[in-house]
A and B are shown apart, each in its own frame.
Chain A
Amino acid sequence: MLISAARLVLNKRPTTPTSSSATGGDRVLNKQTAKPYLGFGLGLRTEHFQDVIDTQPEVDWFEIISENFMVKGGKPKYYLHEIRERYPMVMHGVSLSIGTTDPINFEYLRSLKTLVNEVQPEWLSDHLCWTQHGGINSHDLLPLPYTEEALEHVSSRISATQDFLGQQILIENVSSYLTYNDSTISEWEFLSAVAEKADCLILLDLNNIYVSARNHGFNAEDYLNGIDPDRVQQFHLAGHTDYGDYVIDTHDHDVVHSVWELYAKAIQRFGQVSTMIERDDNIPPLADLVAELNMARAIVDTGTLVQKHVS
């Protein structure tokens, strides 16, 4: 049975900084690329709203799903502001649909800009994909062909979006399950070319690289080596569901060993990059996610993946 690809679907850290934490007075930068560095974050989920306020966990920052807070008020907005007062935030969208051939959705961009003004995030991101066509939204992150036509189309739309928002955005690689016949270059070559042409930044999702590598039969390390470190400002980590012949990006499990290994390699190549764990289904207690996040801290601190910590 096929299982849903479950992606999608919503300022000051008060605790003592750990050795690899980014908090402190001045903005911390990646020593290698001079990019802002936030440390280790989590996706902010409804289930943890009250826990975050009550326990003020050792999390350096939170990432919100932008669309979940494009509402007028009530609990979502209340918790957003309460938590924003305590932690740095970044905004992560799922509906920009940067690759669609539909006209740019300025109504959506206006809502996004309003939320940016409200949240004052450290940065904002969305995906290298398309989600809607002909005015109909699939609410899925649908893949693009890696062609000259798509490169021109997507990069010009990212430029227009950045102009409208008045800031650079981060574009994330998605998990994918199919390849178009007319693709002429690899996904990483396409992502790099888009980032260069549009002058945008990259959110590298290491789980997505792993999932797509398995589904398409490429080497995940080739992907890492094909990306310019100067463009990478954030990492995503997440779990997936492995069906043997293929892998689906479900975000309903812990991060697997192979993705931790890829993370360790990514740290070697890209240096300190703000890292967060996404969990969207089968959501465990907040403390479990904080413990999982500490594995990322340990990898950065030691420079290696410590086997005994891996379940």
Chain B
Amino acid sequence: MLQEQQQHLMAYLRNEESQISEHIADQGGINVELRLGIYHNAYRMRLRESIEVDHPVLGIYLGDDLFDLMATEYIKYCPSQRTSLRHFADQLPGFLGRQAPFSEHGQITELARFERLLMTAFDAGEANRLATNKLSALPIQDWPNTTMRFHPSMQIFNTTWNVVEIWQAIREEREPPPPVESTNHWLVWRNSQRLTQFASLSALENQLLKNALEGKNLAELCDTLTTQMEESTVAEKFLLVIKSWFDKGIVSALYPKG
């Protein structure tokens, strides 16, 4: 009986066929419909609020009607399977990418993806942040084979839309620019003051970071540059880029043996 009651109440909350009212006592006072309605309403409001709190800019960008539609549909098709609301909307970007009318506007799914990456950086694990002098202290013979490990909060956001510009405009209460399809690379990370930051990455930096994340050593990273610029400028450019990673606090370890 207990299992049946739970199945019916959960189905009722989710607007599915349910005989839950047959299990509920008429106690006088407010009627059974209202008693059940309190739970029905609470279920929806809590999940909707969770999406809204985690995606504040997306909410403003969509406006009330589209946001309501998105929340209603997401709650229907992607019910929470996790114990923490923190993860309820993990599937939201993918959902928006396949669900009309949202899927017809590529910037919407990208905006959701960006806001979720900001959350990931916000509460990712802790790790050391190496200062630049750790790099300069590296014996010269160790340089070629050295690999890097990055701070767990570091994320690369590759997008084909100008969503970060849209996000920034809304945050600053400005009119967002019209959506434009263009390839953009962004670095998202949490700094040493535990504030989430993002910065634009050139195509070259993006490639270098991607390679470094894959475990390529410094010699291999340098090779990435030699195919794309004058050999005489490679060393200077390479040092400049690597140093900027240390300055941002995203390098957590150097492994001289690879």
Once bound together, how far apart are the Cα atoms of A180 and B5, in whole Å?
A: 9
Q: Is the CB of B6 within 8 A of A139?
A: no
Q: Is the CB of A177 within 8 A of B10?
A: no
Q: Is the CB of B1 within 8 A of A108?
A: no
**Identity of the chain B residue whose Cβ is nearest the Cβ of A137 in the assembled complex:** B80
Q: Is the CB of B2 within 8 A of A145?
A: yes
Interface of B, secondary structure class, is: helix
B123 to chain A, nearest CB (A): 4
Q: B194 touches which one: A3, A74, A180 (CB < 8 A)?
A: A74
Q: B123 touches which one: A73, A95, A217 (CB < 8 A)?
A: A73
Once bound together, how far apart are the Cα atoms of A216 and B25, in whole Å?
A: 10
Q: Is the CB of B83 within 8 A of A76?
A: no
Once bound together, how far apart are the Cα atoms of A183 and B122, in whole Å?
A: 46
A249 to chain B, nearest CB (A): 10
Q: A246 touches which one: B29, B42, B50, B82 (CB < 8 A)?
A: B29
When A67-B84, A95-B84 are in contact, do A181 and B24 touch as well, CB less than 8 Å?
yes
Residues of chain B with a CB closer than 8 A to A101's CB: 2-3, 6
Q: A2 touches which one: B5, B38, B194 (CB < 8 A)?
A: B38
Q: B152 touches which one: A73, A138, A180 (CB < 8 A)?
A: A73
**Identity of the chain A residue whose Cβ is nearest the Cβ of B84 in the assembled complex:** A67
Q: Is the CB of A136 within 8 A of B79?
A: yes
A178 lies within 8 A of chain B by Cβ: yes
Q: B84 touches which one: A70, A149, A153 (CB < 8 A)?
A: A70
When A67-B84, A101-B3, A142-B9 are in contact, do A179 and B29 touch as well, CB less than 8 Å?
no
A8 lies within 8 A of chain B by Cβ: yes
When A2-B38, A179-B24, A180-B5 are in contact, do A71 and B86 touch as well, CB less than 8 Å?
yes
Q: A74 touches which one: B24, B43, B190 (CB < 8 A)?
A: B190
A77 lies within 8 A of chain B by Cβ: yes
Task: For chain A, give the interface size range.
Answer: 35 or more
B180 lies within 8 A of chain A by Cβ: no
Q: Is the CB of A178 within 8 A of B39?
A: yes
A113 to chain B, nearest CB (A): 14
**Identity of the chain B residue whose Cβ is nearest the Cβ of A101 in the assembled complex:** B3
Q: Is the CB of B27 within 8 A of A216?
A: yes
The interface-forming segment of A28-36, A127-135, A220-228 is A127-135
Residues of chain B with a CB closer than 8 A to A169's CB: none
Contact mask for chain A residues 147-166; partner B; CB cutoff 8 A; 1 contact, 0 none: 10110010000000000000
A19 lies within 8 A of chain B by Cβ: no
A291 lies within 8 A of chain B by Cβ: no
Once bound together, how far apart are the Cα atoms of A138 and B37, in whole Å?
A: 14
Give residues of chain B (13-66) contacting chain A, Cβ–Cβ below 8 Å.
13-14, 22-25, 27-30, 32, 34-39, 41-43, 45-47, 49-50
Residues of chain A with a CB closer than 8 A to B79's CB: 136-137
> Hey, which bits of chain A sit against chain B, CB under 8 A?
2-6, 8-9, 67-68, 70-78, 95, 97, 99-101, 105, 108, 111, 130, 132-140, 142, 144-145, 147, 149-150, 153, 177-183, 215-217, 245-246, 248
- Name 26 interchain pairs, CB-CB below 8 A, sorted by A: A4-B46, A9-B85, A72-B126, A73-B124, A77-B123, A78-B194, A95-B84, A101-B2, A101-B3, A108-B83, A134-B10, A138-B43, A139-B46, A139-B80, A142-B9, A178-B24, A178-B32, A178-B35, A178-B39, A179-B27, A180-B5, A180-B23, A181-B24, A215-B35, A217-B27, A246-B30
Given A137-B82, A177-B39, 7 additional A-B pairs, CB 8 A: A8-B46, A9-B46, A75-B122, A97-B83, A100-B6, A178-B36, A181-B22
